[in-house]
Amino acid sequence: MNELDELWILNEAGSCMFNYAVDSKMNPLLFGSFFTAINQFGRQCSDTAIDDITMGENFLMSLYLAPYKTTIVARSTHTRKRKNMNKMLHEISEIFKTQFAPSDILAWNGNLAQFEGFEKLVEYFFNKNEKMVANFKSIF
């Protein structure tokens, strides 16, 4: 069973660079601003970033990629296993790192087309077709 329902990649300014959803419920632009604001508030209060948030039935888990100055955020239901969700989040971050150099992401100009190949990898990943992910990684 797939542990993730939605995925966002946010830059430090709160712009949503990438969003993939099995069943989208949240506006990616609003979500990026919301999550970044809460994360910055958390850093001011405790000098640490937010690892996870529970909101009703939704559970959000984040992973900060320092060289990219980017946060990957995943959404799931709070009934799913957090350990598996964390594992999937780290696996997606590894796929991201194989596809993009930090300089590519730091110089991002808002062009979402740069993520088209990555979107296909994430789509296959969400569908748990790891063999296809491996094939796509070798192509791109």
Q: Give residue limits of the domains in the chain.
A: 6-139
Provide φ and ψ at 53, rounded to 5°.
Answer: -140, 140
Cβ-in-10-Å burial (0-12, 13-18, 19+) of 71 comes to buried
How would DSSP label each residue in 72-87? EEEEEETTS-HHHHHH
Q: Which tens digits make up the pLDDT trace of 87-122?
A: 888 999 999 999 999 999 999 999 989 998 898 888
Q: Classify the phi-psi angles of 2: left when phi > 0, otherwise alpha if psi is within -120 to 50, otherwise beta.
A: beta
Does domain 6-139 correspond to CATH entry 3.30.450.70? yes
Q: Which pLDDT score, from 0 to 100, does residue 101 have?
A: 96
What is the tens place of the pLDDT at every residue in 36-87?
A: 888 888 778 877 777 788 888 888 899 999 999 999 999 887 667 788 888 8
